[in-house]
């Protein structure tokens, strides 16, 4: 359907559509959307990037002794959980900000799968923190990292 400027916008009104017409170039997003997505992505950098960074530092930390590894893991936990809460809160904000009624079945399916992997990531991170065996720590850490990277990729898919 043409909008006030005469441009076709009907096929781009749903979530996952960033541009406003086949003939126009990329558009700046609004200040409110920029704030929402910046907070969401910033929290994702801490949750996902922090996990990958700590995993990469593990060999060095182990060389400093078990106490150093435990201290750094505990310190990361204090950063990680606030980031997870911000991801959940801004994720809900994201869902309320898009035109959900115009979402395609595929978009909604990706959203449901994403919410599922976010919950898997949260539960496995919790179990990982409480694991005492090496196997429990390794499986918990791997599942958390895989689910978190999957959530990130699915988020990018949702943005379009
Ligand atoms: C581990 C947790 C999460 C991670 C790592 C994550 C990551 C991301 C990323 C990287 C984007 C793309 C942002 C962009 O390209 O501008 C995104 C978008 C999105 N996320 Fe998440 N997210 C998480 C949790 C959630 C949750 C819990 C929800 C829903 C309750 C959610 C709903 C959305 C939606 C709807 C978008 C698209 C927003 C838009 O296009 O305006 N996210 N996410």
DSSP states of 62-87 as a string? HHH-HHHHHHHHHHHHHHHHHHHHHH
Distance CA 123, CA 119 (A): 6
Model pLDDT for residues 1-14, shown as the tens digit of each residue: 344 443 434 333 56
Tokens of 48: 């996902």
Residues with CB under 6 A from ligand 1: 15, 37, 40-41, 44, 47-48, 87-88, 91-92, 94-95, 97-98, 111, 114-115, 118, 121, 148, 151-152, 155-156, 158-159
Distance 115 CA to ligand 1 centre (A): 9
Dihedral sign from CA coordinates of 118, 88, 124, 159: positive
Contact 73, 54 (CB under 8 A): yes
**Ligand 1 binding pocket mutation candidate from 123, 155, 159 (most atoms within 8 A of CB):** 155
Q: What is the mean pLDDT of the chain?
A: 89
Model pLDDT for residues 24-68, shown as the tens digit of each residue: 799 999 999 999 999 999 999 999 999 999 999 999 999 999 999
- 41 CB burial (10 A radius; 0-12, 13-18, 19+): middle
Greatest Cα-to-Cα distance within the chain, rounded to the nearest angstrom: 67
pTM of the model as a whole:
0.89
């Amino acid at each position: 359907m043409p909008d006030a400027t005469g441009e076709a916008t009907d096929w781009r009104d749903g979530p996952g559509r960033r541009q406003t017409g086949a003939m126009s170039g990329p558009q700046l997003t609004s200040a409110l959307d920029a704030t929402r997505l910046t907070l969401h992505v910033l929290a994702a950098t801490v949750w996902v990037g922090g996990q990958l960074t700590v995993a990469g530092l593990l060999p060095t930390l182990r060389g400093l002794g078990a106490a150093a590894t435990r201290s750094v893991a505990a310190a990361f936990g204090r950063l990680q959980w606030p980031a997870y809460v911000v991801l959940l809160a801004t994720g809900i904000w994201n869902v309320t900000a898009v035109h959900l009624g115009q979402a395609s079945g595929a978009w909604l399916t990706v959203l449901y799968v994403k919410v599922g992997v976010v919950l898997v990531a949260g539960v496995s991170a919790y179990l990982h923190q409480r694991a005492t065996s090496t196997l429990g720590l390794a499986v918990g850490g791997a599942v958390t990292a895989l689910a978190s990277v999957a959530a990130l990729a699915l988020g990018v898919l949702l943005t379009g």
